[in-house]
Structure 1
Amino acid sequence: MSGSSIHTVTSSPQLAVDNDESLNKMLSVIRKHLEMDVAFYSEFVSGQRIFRAVSKSEQKMSAIEVGDSDPIEETYCGKMSNGEFDNIIHDAKKHEGASKLDVTEELGIGAYMGVPITLSDGAIFGTLCCYKSDKDNSLNKRDLGFLNAFAEIYRDLFEERMQHTCIIDQMAESTLAALELDLLTVHYQPIYSLENNLICGYESLARFNSQPYRPPNIWFDEAELVGMGEALQIKAIRQALRDIKKMSSHAQLSVNIAPEYILNGAIHRVLDDVDPSRLILEVTEHSPIEDYEVFREQLAPLRERGVQLAIDDAGAGYASFQHILELEADLIKLDLSLIRDIHLQPKKYALAKALCTFATATTCVIVAEGVEVIEELRVLEKLGVDRIQGYLTGKPMPIEEAVLHQYSLPL
């Protein structure tokens, strides 16, 4: 170590390592194996040594606490990392350098052992150290090897978390770009009434103008991860609401929304100054609802104003069936996975038939998504499906194209 210099991480995120149970357990193992009073790992941040976790023996009342910090150059950690101190100090009170540091007396350091936690790029993340109040001439290279082995484990964990943090930062930057640079646009897929042989509405679907292209679900999933899910969903809904005036007066507009943004009032604020009587809120299979009674109460004022509720992705999983039973929806949307090749697969037909029977009994409208071929359409007509949506009747398109789009039911 002699002659080396400290290259510190100057802007480290917290990495969610504080109070990490597994790291604390390892500290306890280190302390007990080496028969030390205190073991800790620290992080070097912007010239400061910060204690991130500390393990103490029951008999030792150490002044060290998690979060305490000192200038690196004034610490054992710093001097060990830059080569001024050896990794092992058997008797700090007789050590030429250590005996002059106030911390030796303040913490009652007798014997000390420490190693840097060095990242793959050569930067020193921090240190893994331990000490006891008594001197200890028995500490040797084998003990140092033991400590170094754990330092490598810590390094691997920290680098994994740094990489994760970097990915999260990139997600946040992408989401901010979508919010601030108008990367988000809205396309509209026609919804066709089999009863009236007319387009009766549109589902608004977000699209993102970015290179390389990424599907909308990736954008919304990442936005949720970085705490911007509400902002992105509400932006898409506001944009769709601006376009509703371009649609024919009989057309309804369906928008996708996560239940939490109904529960927290976000959608209520969006609809304060608009007529929502042509709006359909689609709650998806992928969104859990913890308390259906509270959800119904939050939704009630909107339904009184004419907003309709649709259960999306029905048939894709258990949650959609629970939504159907609990929420008294106005519409049930059969998932495209159920519709695909329904004319060839009896099990899909049977499930769709059951849902259609339920809808009839509860005066609920059935919408089939993902309809692509005439054969699927014929089966859905036989089942009594009310509305269809899919590439057969029209792909998602900009509002200017959507309002001009026509479809004629094949004879």
Structure 2
Amino acid sequence: MNGDLHVALPDGAQPLRFEAIENDSIQRILKATRTHLGAEIAFVGRYIDGDRRELMYVDTELDLPMGPGFSEPREESFCWHILEGRLPELIRDAADHEFAKALPITEMLPVGCHLNVPLRLSNGEVFGSFCCLSRTADRSVSERDMDVLRAFGKLAGEMIETSLVRDEEANRLDRKICDVIAEGGISTYQQPIHDLSSLRVVGVESLSRFEDADRRSPEKWFEEAKSVGRGLELELAAIKSALDADSLAGSEAYISVNASPETVMSGEIARLLRHYSGRKVVIELTEHEQVSDFAALRDALAEIRQHARIAVDDVGAGYAGLRYLVDLAPDLLKLDMSLTREIHTDLARQAMAKAIVHFAKAIGADVIAEGIENAQELEMLKEIGVSYGQGYYFSKPIPAGDIPAYFAVHGHNAVAAS
């Protein structure tokens, strides 16, 4: 914990605020300390901007003119002079100390009894102070009371340091994600989607790849972006990257791009698609959390349908349940790979797939099987009535620039190889 906590972010990026600390827990610590010592005020302060002291947390029943966020020159506070050794940590009566009497706060509040300990981080750095005080003197306060203050202060300091570490990591992630977005650090790969009867290519699913793809999954990037409030921005950047990389213009094939319900409901996808008119686009709805507002999602999808078809991912697994499918009425259902794998040997998987195919026909949708890895799975899926599929049996995801050559070999009405 040092100056590295103040992370310089790219232009336009807003730093995360120091609000990750468990406010309630620290407030409870202050209240317990104040109650135990019989004090009127307890607070945690921190040193900021080199020469100021700011109140972070305050517990009191008094109507004070200052509260959390109040800051003042550190030289005007008891805390700073206690840290510098000009005043003792235990002051039973401020009137006993000429230096204390000269401080403006002593008369203004006024200050009588004052107990204070520095808040130090594990590396010895002073973060701020932990303090209890009353407006009147109290000569009964003892060193044992100071020990109580030190114990509670140590606990509060440990919680603050844990939150500082968390904030430092969040700011690092935020800067990294902002850099990727600003510098176009998203590569687009595409996995071909085949008609299972003719084996011709009918489309591609676009997948995002990052510079550390050999060490971490793309999902990790999107999870981290969401954790620091950049989920929408990163998803939209990935969608734009996929649409910009589309080399299928002029063919009968479509390009499918992934989007979460949150991004769909933002309205940004519909606005983005207006710039790609004439493209055959599918918005593939991915979901790893329960959707809380189906009405809002339906309304947002209705606007997107003016520009693209809708697919639902992970059907048969996760949160893509019956209500999801009934309410959203997708054009395409993507059979989750957990059902595709070894489907030729598993009667339960076959029964589930047949039910999904039957449901799809009833609502006028087509089924795409994900994760096809061998000919036996392919034949069973065809027998069940699945229309389309993708997986390593056909091709792993490949760079978008290599798709025209793939279509030249496998596609009907294919684009010319480049």
Look up the match of 2:370: 369
- 1:220-231 to structure 2, matched below 5 A, reads 220-231=222-233
Where structure 1 has 5 or more consecutive residues not aligned to the other structure, the ranges are: 1-6
Q: Is the aligned partner of 1:282 residue 2:284?
A: yes
**1:158-212 deviation line (CA, Å, top 9, x unaligned):** 1111111111112112212212233211011000001332110000111112487
Cα distance, 1:270–1:136 mapped onto 2, change above 3 Å: same
Tell whether the 8 Å contact from 1:285 to 1:316 is kept in structure 2 after alignment.
no
Alignment match, 2:52: 48
**Alpha-carbon offset, residue 275 of structure 1:** 2.0
Name the counterpart of 1:117.
119
How many equivalent pairs are there? 399
Residue matched to 2:150: 148
Q: State the distance in 2 between where 1:272 and 1:336 align.
A: 32
**What amino acid maps onto 1:264 in structure 2?**
S
Aligned to 1:3: none
- Mean CA deviation greater in 358-367 or 336-345: 336-345
AA in 1 matched with 2:401: E
The alignment status of 1:34 with 2:37, answered yes or no, reads yes
Deviation digits for residues 272-327 of structure 1 (CA, Å, limit 9, x no counterpart): 2322551110001325433323322232243234x110000112223443321210
Q: Are residues 374 and 19 of structure 1, via their aligned partners in 2, closer, same or farther at CA, if it must alter by over 3 Å?
A: closer
106-115 or 353-362, which moves further after superposition?
Answer: 353-362
The letter for the 1-side match of 2:119 is I
Q: Percent same amino acid at aligned positions?
A: 32
Counterpart code for 1:54: V
Give the structure 2 partner of residue 341 of structure 1. 342
Aligned partners of 1:323 and 1:345: how far apart in 2? 26
Structure 1 residue 134: Cα displacement: 2.1
Q: 1:220 to 1:318 in 2, by over 3 A?
A: closer
Residue of structure 2 equivalent to 1:384: 385
C-alpha contact 2:40 2:132 (8 A) present in aligned 1: yes
User: What residue in structure 2 maps to residue 171 of structure 1?
Assistant: 173
| 1:62 matches 2:64 | yes
Deviates more, 1:315-324 or 1:129-138: 315-324
Work out the CA distance in 1 between the residues paired with 2:156 and 2:323.
44
Q: Following the alignment from structure 1 to structure 2, what is the Cα–Cα distance between the partners of residues 10 and 177?
A: 18
For the 8 Å contact 1:111–1:134, the answer to whether it is kept is: yes
- Equivalents in 2 of 1:31, 1:17: separation in Å? 24
- For 2:59, the aligned partner's letter is S
Tell me which stretches of 4 or more aligned residues in structure 1 moved more than 4 Å: 7-14
User: What TM-score results when the alignment is normalised by the length of structure 1?
Assistant: 0.90
CA–CA separation in structure 1 for the residues paired with 2:57 and 2:244: 52
Matched residue type, 2:387: D
Distance 1:9 1:107 in 2: 36
Helix, strand or coil: the match of 1:403? helix
Hey, what's the Cα distance between the residues in 2 that align with 1:173 and 1:211? 19
The SS at the match of 1:404 is helix
Cα distance in structure 2, aligned partners of 1:94 and 1:268: 71
The one-letter code sitting in structure 2 at the alignment partner of 1:131 is L
Task: Give per-residue Cα distances to partners, 1:196-234, cap 9 Å, x unaligned.
Answer: 321100001111124873211111122222232222222
The 8 Å contact of residues 288 and 319 in structure 2, kept in 1 or not, is answered as: no
State the distance in 1 between where 2:384 and 2:259 align.
28
Q: List alignment gaps of at least 5 residues for structure 2.
A: 8-15, 412-418
